[in-house]
Amino acid sequence: MPLATPSPALAPPTILPAAPCGQQLCSARLCSTLLSSAPGRPPPPCPPPPSSCCHHSPLIALRGWGPQGWTHPTVAPEPSWSDGRKVGRRTPEPEVGSVPGSLTTSSSTIQAMGIKTALPAAELGLYSLVLSGALAYAGRGLLEASQDGAHRKAFRESVRPGWEYIGRKMDVADFEWVMWFTSFRNVIIFALSGHVLFAKLCTMVAPQLRSWMYAVYGALAVLGTMGPWYLLLLLGHCVSLYVASLLGQPWLCLGLGLASLASFKLDPLISWQSGFVTGTFDLQEVLFHGGSGFTVLRCTSFALESCAHPDRRYSLADLLKYNFYLPFFFFGPIMTFDRFHTQMSQVEPVRREGELWRIRAQAGLSVVAVMAVDIFFHFFYILTIPNDLKFANRLPDSALAGLAYSNLVYDWVKAAVLFGVVNTVARLDHLDPPQPPKCITALYVFAETHFDRGINDWLCKHCSRHWGYSSEHGKDPELMELTV
């Protein structure tokens, strides 16, 4: 009977000396090949080293070597095992959502903030099941509370007749939402339809002048809505920040922008500036603060971008084209100047395949969301109940939880509808605007807890870079955003 041959002892791993820049990749492959090749078989020849330095090789960037990997700590991968033998070191798995082999630059701070982490399907299903049950239980109590309080005296001002044929009243406590879809509905449709129509005609006849057409149309819309003196007030803010940009001092531009924003919140400056609006109407205060605030943010973005790139020589006309783009003027979202200028400078923009279908789908979702909110307000008086504290104190805990959650989701739906309509028009103009905010129910990554994606991009690009919290210095831009 033959005796079993004992297995040979494992040899200690060979430590390779440091190789020059062009030979590190070759040495790593040779080590793995020598250890993993069968006994008695000569190893394959080593591939020639790359002609350029490893710091600029996409393959080196793929493996985390060179300057591309210096912003993250390098962790030595664990050795892999096969048939009881060490066969070299295994390349660490890429992070979820990362793009292997992509060469990212440190200047793209906004892309570094976009962490994409997908939860397992089973975990998402469990969360959805628990959430659905909790919402059904809380919604039942909230529905009963709305029915009991429909005829209370405190509800008379904000609960008006709605679907009388089934005996349902409607919650109209949010005057801004009501004004959008009653008094100002035709004005909004007329203004945006005219913008799309003139943009299409200008693109067909003189595409090189479409940016001028957008600016002139937007300025005329502001003139007709808010009056000539308000238009002159905004032009004054634009000119002041443009002059500051000519000095090439980022701290001066940022300080002047913050001071201009503060002037719309402090008396007596706010009272003096609000007097520039001609006439009085329901949404006057909303349009005044929205147009003024976003104008200052856009002008500050222009000034900081001009200071960062003095060789590009941006003009006052570029600032006016950027600021008076009508879909973004009153309610945003905010686009940084560099993105807007690059996309608007395309003389003959080309749509990607299927983009028109996605634009129609987004417009359809906005209409469906408006109808869903209208139906919801006929059954749940979530905006009126918090105004009657005596009635709210008698509600069960489940109804109070449903009331709080419904108000949070309604704020998101309101912003999503507004941004959805504006983004639909902007995408028809061949722009790529910021996406609508993410629903609070779907937030589970700290880096995506910001509500307005456009303002988040603005903070990441301008505040993080100029205050030293950029990825190129090894610091976290999220810390700067959280501080602001």
Q: How far apart are CA 56 and CA 54, in angstroms?
A: 5
CA distances from 126 to 121, 135, 137 (A): 9, 14, 17
Q: How far apart are CA 202 and CA 197, in angstroms?
A: 9
E strand or H helix at 249:
none
Share of the chain above pLDDT 70, in %: 70
* pLDDT in the model for residue 98: 40
Structure tokens at 416: 């999503």
Burial profile 258-279: b = 16 or more Cβ within 10 angstroms, e = fewer = eebbeebeeeeebeebbebbee
Across the range 66-89, mean pLDDT stands at 41
Amino acid letter, residue 287: L
Banded model confidence at residue 346, pLDDT cuts 50, 70, 90: confident
Amino acid letter, residue 237: H
Q: What is the mean pLDDT of the chain?
A: 75
pLDDT score of 354 more than 90: no
Amino acid letter, residue 73: P
Give me the torsion for CA of 336, 337, 338, 341, rounded to 10°: 130
* pLDDT in the model for residue 376: 92
pLDDT score of 18 more than 70: no
* pLDDT in the model for residue 449: 67
- Helices 185-205 and 210-226 sit at what angle, rounded to 10 degrees? 160
Q: What are the backbone dihedrals phi and psi of residue 159, each rounded to the nearest 5 degrees, phi first?
A: -115, 105
Domain boundaries, the chain: 121-182+354-420, 185-344
pLDDT digits (tens, 9 = 90+) for 227-279: 899 999 999 999 999 999 999 898 999 999 999 999 998 888 888 998 888 87
pLDDT score of 115 more than 60: no
Banded model confidence at residue 327, pLDDT cuts 50, 70, 90: very high
Beta-carbon contacts of 291 under 8 Å, excluding residues fewer than 6 positions away, are 222, 226, 230, 234, 329, 330
pLDDT digits (tens, 9 = 90+) for 119-171: 788 988 898 999 999 999 999 989 988 888 878 888 888 888 878 787 788 88
Banded model confidence at residue 117, pLDDT cuts 50, 70, 90: low
Output the DSSP codes for 103-161. ---TT-HHHHH----PPPHHHHHHHHHHHHHHHHHHHHHHHHHHHHTTT-GGGTTTEEE
Across the range 343-364, mean pLDDT stands at 86
Structure tokens at 259: 């001071």
Q: How far apart are CA 37 and CA 56, in angstroms?
A: 30
Q: How far apart are CA 41 and CA 483, in angstroms?
A: 61
Amino acid letter, residue 481: E
The CB-side HSE value for 474 (13 A sphere, CA atoms) comes to 6
Q: Give the range among 79-88, 393-402, 443-452 with minimum mean pLDDT.
A: 79-88
Q: How far apart are CA 293 and CA 446, in angstroms?
A: 27
Banded model confidence at residue 359, pLDDT cuts 50, 70, 90: very high
* pLDDT in the model for residue 285: 86
Q: How far apart are CA 175 and CA 387, in angstroms?
A: 14
Of residues 388 and 85, the one with the higher pLDDT is 388
Residue 462 DSSP code? I
3-state secondary structure of 353: coil
Of residues 116 and 363, the one with the higher pLDDT is 363
Are 109 and 471 within 8 A, CB to CB? Answer: yes
Q: How far apart are CA 26 and CA 48, in angstroms?
A: 7
